[in-house]
DNA sequence: CGCGCCTAGTAATGCGCTTTACTAGATGCA
DNA sequence: TGCATCTAGTAAAGCGCATTACTAGGCGCG
């Protein structure tokens, strides 16, 4: 069974294809109501669905935004971010899809042969091998939203995250703070550095002892070593700001296995506000990012590129991260 | 600057557009090497990138597979699954993108106006409102991979998951087992039911006491209540199989806060093998799904639909889930 | 009456590519 | 030599739609 086309509808409604096109696209300005209804009836009767291909080719523009997913660990907040972004873009008449970045760069380049985006969005920076074919295909890009790029490019102020952690700990009277860096993948390298820089700066601003920076894998043994090193340092580290909640929980469990009391012997604060943080004992203090705001900001940036005319979504600024204080810094409250 | 087209290349190489098309698409069977090279040189010189739109329109087929992402909680295994699937499809010459399913059904239907898939893949079943426009647009679908559909449709044998949990506990001598159901969202309802059914059946096959089924939210207070109920039951519940690791950790922490020893007073086993399971104390026994195999299976199903001719990927059967035994069932080993 | 203007549409072109037919010349072979 | 066959390539016809330019007929108005 052949696909139902504009022409079929035109024939059925007794008008020209042009007229049908106008009606279907809402440009029915100077089409009288009666004709319009005839056309719509025919559309409904035949079950006409316009072809995205034909439309894209003729109009010369696509309405698909491709987002290259970050390869970091899964997180509900990221999923929420994606949903927010999708929703905002959809409201503006675009469809947002997510692409898993293949490990093989060559294949990555091949992708644009199949899909036909209005814009390609990437969390981190794309390298020039990846950028060139896009540019040649006339596809604009929005990159460096989370990692890479300049700090103004980023939708989240990562320095502020580190600052918030250290300020929270300083408020509780901690003088000697450690910063736990993750084992860095390409993806979170720049993020980790920014957070650390914020932490160090906050410690400096507050007149605290110099921040001890350690790398802590999400691994029980390594975490134990780090905890031991901190407790044996002089002056003794009394609190640790961790790159993420996963590292923080690892440290928390290592401390407990070493017989230490959290937060009395060591206070711990993570980042991400994973649900996990509420499950462990003691519950984990953390920093929550406002990814709703970040999504709005990213959406605005994208729309500015794909639809420069409309002023669409009002730009939202970066929203500061929020400290979620729980037992691992405040104590059990008993 | 206008986009570089096939015609431009043809002109530069001194051949017809047809020839360029043949060369670009590897159908250069009866094109002599010298001409082929001239064309390829021109392609490189001009930086020609074929237009996906034009190609799709002319060839009448798309090479994009759209997967509707499940709305469940984020998990690394799912991300890995997506990467596997993307990779396999890419190897077969398709691009796989993921779509966040909008809460608003109407908008969902609109999506096919923008994107132009060779196939739409959905974890769970799509309803007819969603299916109809796709059908009309001539887009085949593959649905019910994880939830919904018949059990043969599914890429993962969820019954086997429940069975594996109970058999592991039975092997350790437990007689009275509880099954912890999650607070069900639309997405995991069918999964949860299948797992529970498997658990109940295994208990029956092993001649154990009837399985106690309780619903446990990922919430400390609720979990405490459930744990208390189990310990006070007669006969006493000595082990619990949980729908997922998150519920399991909640139960584990609740037990500890109640002063119970895990697994001595209560053995616990989850599902998913989240990294989290290695961080908590005691470490969490769990069931790992072989999502590599599932991805291969799904990919094969998709390819059978989008490329019925080739026998592409060899079909892989469902692979049984694997018990990862840790401290929460085995004990600390000390 | 004659001119312009508005209404309600239409014809025609082209977006960039694939694909089917078709051809001019070279070659094989009896 | 004459006919078939092969080689190397091309012309032309769309794919389904948007869009621009245009027209036929009706109307107001000086």
* A7-33 pLDDT, tens digit each: 999 999 999 999 999 999 988 778 889
Peptide bond preceding B145: is omega within 30 degrees of 0, i.e. cis?
no
- Note whether A56 contacts B: Cβ–Cβ < 8 A: yes
CB pairs under 8 A between A and B: 170
Distance in angstroms: CA B53, C1' D2: 50
Distance in angstroms: CA A16, C1' D23: 14
Cβ–Cβ gap B63/A114 under 8 Å: yes
Cα gap B196→B200, rounded to integer Å = 6
Residues 216-275 of B with CB under 8 A from A: 218, 220, 246, 249-250, 253, 256-257, 275
- The answer to whether the pTM exceeds 0.85 is yes
- Note whether A138 contacts B: Cβ–Cβ < 8 A: yes
CB neighbour list of residue A178: distance below 8 Å, 6 or more residues apart: A211, A212, A213, A214, A226, A230, A237, A239, A240, A241
Tell me the CB-side half-sphere exposure of residue A83, using CA atoms within 13 A: 17
- Note whether A26 contacts B: Cβ–Cβ < 8 A: no
pLDDT value at residue A149: 67
Give the residue from chain B lying closest to A83, CA to CA. Answer: B100
**Tokens 């559309």 appear where?**
A43
- The more confident residue out of A333 and A323 is A323
Chain B residues with beta carbon closer than 8 angstroms to that of A57: 51, 53-54, 57
Cβ–Cβ gap A74/B78 under 8 Å: yes
Residues 69-128 of A with CB under 8 A from B: 69, 73-76, 78-79, 82-83, 86-87, 90, 94-100, 102, 107, 110-116
Chain A residues with beta carbon closer than 8 angstroms to that of B87: 100, 102
Distance in angstroms: CA A58, C1' C14: 8
Q: Band of the pLDDT at A278, cuts 50, 70, 90?
A: confident
pLDDT value at residue B284: 96
Average predicted confidence (pLDDT) for chain B: 89
pLDDT value at residue A310: 62
Nearest one of A290, A287, A291 to A325, comparing CA atoms: A287
Cα gap B320→B158, rounded to integer Å = 9
Cα gap B164→B170, rounded to integer Å = 10
Partner-chain residue, chosen from B49, B66, B90, that has the shortest CB–CB distance to A133: B49
Chain A residues with beta carbon closer than 8 angstroms to that of B6: none
pLDDT value at residue B333: 62
- Note whether A61 contacts B: Cβ–Cβ < 8 A: no
In our burial notation (b when 16+ CB lie closer than 10 A, e otherwise), range A126-154 reads: beeebbebbeebebebbbbbbbbbeeeeb
Cβ–Cβ gap A95/B79 under 8 Å: no
SS3 of B97, please?
A: strand
Q: Which of A94-98, B153-157, B284-288 has the lowest mean pLDDT?
A: B153-157
Q: Across the beta sheet with B177-181, what order do the strands follow?
A: B212-215, B177-181, B239-242, B267-269
SS3 of B248, please?
A: helix
User: What is the number of other CB atoms lying within 10 angstroms of the CB of residue B214?
Assistant: 18
pLDDT value at residue B133: 85
Cα gap B122→B140, rounded to integer Å = 11
Chain A interface mutation, best of B279, B295, B299, B332, highest count of A Cβ atoms under 10 Å: B279
**Per-residue pLDDT reduced to its tens digit, B13-62:** 999 999 999 999 998 778 889 999 999 999 999 999 999 999 999 999 99
pLDDT value at residue A281: 84
Cα gap A32→A35, rounded to integer Å = 6
pLDDT value at residue A35: 92
- The more confident residue out of B256 and B199 is B199
Answer yes or no: is A97 CB < 7 A from strand D: no
CB B66 within 8 A of CB B120: yes
Give the residue from chain A lying closest to B47, CA to CA. Answer: A136
Helix (H) or strand (E) holding B300: helix B291-306
End-to-end CA distance of chain B: give it in Å, rounded: 73
Dump strand ranges (E) for B10-166: 64-69, 95-100, 119-122, 141-142
pLDDT surpasses 90 at A186? no
pLDDT surpasses 60 at B8? yes
Chain A residues with beta carbon closer than 8 angstroms to that of B256: 281
- Note whether B14 contacts A: Cβ–Cβ < 8 A: no
Give the residue from chain B lying closest to A247, CA to CA. Answer: B279
Return the DSSP state at A112: G
Cα gap A83→B314, rounded to integer Å = 35
pLDDT value at residue B334: 57
CB B239 within 8 A of CB B267: yes
Q: What is the mean pLDDT of residues A214-227?
A: 91
- Note whether B131 contacts A: Cβ–Cβ < 8 A: no
Average predicted confidence (pLDDT) for chain A: 89
pLDDT value at residue B107: 72
pLDDT surpasses 70 at A280? yes
Q: Across the beta sheet with A239-242, what order do the strands follow?
A: A212-215, A177-181, A239-242, A267-269
Alpha helices in A60-213 (DSSP H): 76-91, 105-110, 128-136, 158-171, 189-205
CB neighbour list of residue B231: distance below 8 Å, 6 or more residues apart: B237, B260, B265, B266
Give the residue from chain A lying closest to B245, CA to CA. Answer: A276
pLDDT surpasses 70 at A284? yes
CB B302 within 8 A of CB B65: yes
CB B145 within 8 A of CB B154: yes
Cα gap A249→A233, rounded to integer Å = 21
- The more confident residue out of B148 and A99 is A99
pLDDT surpasses 90 at A136? no
Q: Which of A112-126, A308-322, B164-178, B231-245 has the lowest mean pLDDT?
A: A308-322
Q: What is the mean pLDDT of residues B158-181?
A: 97
The radius of gyration of chain B from alpha carbons, rounded to an integer in Å, stands at 26
Cβ–Cβ gap A113/B55 under 8 Å: yes
Query: How close is the nearest chain B Cα to the Cα of A119, in Å?
Result: 13
Partner-chain residue, chosen from B54, B115, B133, that has the shortest CB–CB distance to A64: B115
Cα gap A293→A157, rounded to integer Å = 11
Nearest nt by C1' to B51 Cα: C16
**Per-residue pLDDT reduced to its tens digit, A28-71:** 778 889 999 999 999 999 999 999 999 999 999 899 999 998 77
pLDDT surpasses 70 at B271? yes
Residues 153-212 of A with CB under 8 A from B: none
pLDDT surpasses 60 at A191? yes
Q: What is the mean pLDDT of residues A146-152?
A: 70
Residue A234's Cβ-count burial label (10 Å; 0-12, 13-18, 19+) is: exposed
Dihedral sign computed on CA atoms, order A190, A191, A192, A198: positive
Task: Please report, rounded to a whole number, the percentage of residues in chain A having pLDDT higher than 70.
Answer: 96
Q: What is the mean pLDDT of residues B249-276?
A: 93
pLDDT value at residue B20: 96
pLDDT value at residue A169: 98
- Note whether A67 contacts B: Cβ–Cβ < 8 A: no
Q: Which of B177-181, B211-215, B302-306 has the lowest mean pLDDT?
A: B302-306
Alpha-carbon distances of B243 from A296, B13, B162, B231, rounded to whole Å: 35, 63, 8, 19
- Note whether B53 contacts A: Cβ–Cβ < 8 A: yes
Cα gap A115→B115, rounded to integer Å = 8
User: What is the number of other CB atoms lying within 10 angstroms of the CB of residue B212?
Assistant: 18
Q: Which of A128-137, A167-176, B249-258 has the lowest mean pLDDT?
A: A128-137
Cβ–Cβ gap B53/A62 under 8 Å: yes
Return the DSSP state at A105: H
**Per-residue pLDDT reduced to its tens digit, B300-315:** 999 999 987 665 555 6
pLDDT value at residue B310: 62
Chain A residues with beta carbon closer than 8 angstroms to that of B82: 100
Nearest one of A54, A38, A41, A40 to A5, comparing CA atoms: A54
Cα gap B150→B157, rounded to integer Å = 11
pLDDT value at residue B227: 96
For residue A145, list its beta bridge partners.
Answer: none
Chain B residues with beta carbon closer than 8 angstroms to that of A133: 49
User: What is the number of other CB atoms lying within 10 angstroms of the CB of residue A210?
Assistant: 10
pLDDT surpasses 80 at A212? yes
């Amino acid at each position: 069974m052949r696909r139902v086309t504009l022409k079929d509808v035109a024939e059925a409604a007794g008008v020209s294809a042009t007229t049908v096109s106008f009606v279907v696209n809402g440009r029915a300005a100077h089409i009288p109501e009666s004709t319009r209804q005839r056309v719509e009836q025919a559309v409904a009767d035949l079950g006409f669905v316009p072809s995205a291909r034909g439309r894209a080719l003729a109009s010369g523009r696509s309405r698909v935004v491709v987002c290259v997913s970050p390869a970091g660990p899964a997180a509900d907040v990221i999923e929420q971010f994606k949903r927010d972004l999708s929703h905002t873009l959809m409201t503006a008449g675009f469809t947002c899809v997510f692409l898993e970045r293949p490990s093989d760069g060559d294949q990555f380049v091949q992708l644009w042969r199949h899909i036909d985006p209005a814009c390609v969005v990437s969390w981190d920076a794309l390298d020039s091998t990846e950028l060139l074919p896009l540019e040649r295909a006339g596809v604009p890009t929005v990159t460096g939203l989370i990692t890479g790029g300049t700090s103004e490019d980023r939708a989240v102020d990562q320095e502020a995250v580190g600052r918030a952690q250290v300020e929270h700990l300083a408020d509780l009277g901690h003088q000697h703070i450690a910063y736990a860096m993750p084992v860095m993948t390409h993806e979170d390298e720049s993020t980790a550095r920014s957070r650390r820089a914020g932490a160090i700066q906050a410690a400096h601003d507050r007149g605290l002892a110099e921040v001890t920076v350690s790398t802590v894998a999400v691994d029980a043994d390594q975490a134990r070593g780090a905890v031991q090193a901190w407790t044996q340092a002089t002056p003794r580290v009394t609190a640790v700001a961790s790159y993420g909640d996963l590292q923080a929980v690892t440290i928390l469990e290592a401390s407990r296995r070493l017989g230490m009391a959290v937060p009395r012997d060591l206070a711990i604060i993570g980042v991400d506000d994973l649900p996990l943080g509420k499950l462990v004992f003691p519950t984990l203090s953390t920093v929550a990012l406002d990814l709703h705001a970040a999504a709005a900001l990213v959406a605005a940036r994208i729309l500015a590129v794909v639809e420069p005319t409309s002023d669409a979504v009002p730009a939202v600024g970066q929203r500061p991260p929020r400290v979620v204080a729980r037992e691992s810094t405040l104590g059990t409250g008993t």
